[in-house]
Amino acid sequence: MSKSSLSHFVFRAVGLQIVLLGIWWTILYRPSIALLRLTAEVPLNLPLSNPLKSALQVDSSSGDWNFSVPVNAVVKDSTHSDGSVQVEAIDFTAPAENVAPFAIGWFVYLGLALSVLITRENLRRALKGLLFQTAISALAVFSYAEINARGTLAHIHRVPDPLSLWLLNFAYHIDYLVVPYATPFLVVLWTHPQWWAKLTGIPQISSPVAAMRRPRSSR
């Protein structure tokens, strides 16, 4: 691929990112947060030990996300008591803007997927990628809730385990600062082989199945 062609491709991808993220921020911010909540409730409610209490509730007035994460742990050296403390669940609240980064992936992925030639096949690939991005975003919210709950639980101990705190902090940064922004690029590389061809300059190789289906030329 020539430098001018690669530059045009990159500028197109960047331009679509700016447009779609602008639409997200000005028009689709609240709907995307609502959709994120619906998808995140699936993994959040799977390990729930108390079926009478939802793992996620959203305050209708403030929009805050109220999490209730079951931990079912016994803390023998609690800072709140001289004896053992049974902790059934950890409840915490997160403002809507704290979970908004998990909704960005949809729009970043679309900007990347639509930067290649728009065909019926590529649109099917984009739809498949959106489904995978939805699953990733839902699992990222689940991890966000679990990590925060485990961190709160760790601080109930009089002397928290330093290694556990470091691992939780590391996992939090990966989940919150890497996953929402990096996974759209990984998904588009998987769903759209044209991206590899554009970035590496190596022509896209058709699959053996497609090659077998090609009619042979008559001699």
125 or 204: which carries more pLDDT confidence?
A: 125
What single-letter amino acid sits at 134? T
At residue 66, the 3 state secondary structure works out as strand
**Domain membership flag for residue 145:** yes
pLDDT of residue 48: 58
Report yes or no on 218 lying in a domain: no
Look at residue 10 and tell me if it is in a domain. Answer: yes
- Domain presence at residue 62: no
Q: For the whole model, what pTM was predicted?
A: 0.84
In a domain? residue 74: no
Q: What is the DSSP track for 85-120?
A: EEEEEEEEEE-HHHHTHHHHHHHHHHHHHTTS---H
Measured distance CA(102)–CA(37) in Å, rounded: 10
179-191 and 120-154 helices, crossing angle to 10°: 150
32 domain-assigned: yes
Report the pLDDT value the prediction gives residue 11, as an integer from 0 to 100.
87
The pLDDT tens digits for 3-21 are 667 777 888 888 998 999 9
Tens-place pLDDT, residues 129-148: 999 999 999 999 999 999 99
- What range defines the domain where residue 107 resides? 3-47+97-201
In a domain, 28, yes or no: yes
115 in any annotated domain:
yes
Instruction: Tally the domains of the chain.
Output: 1
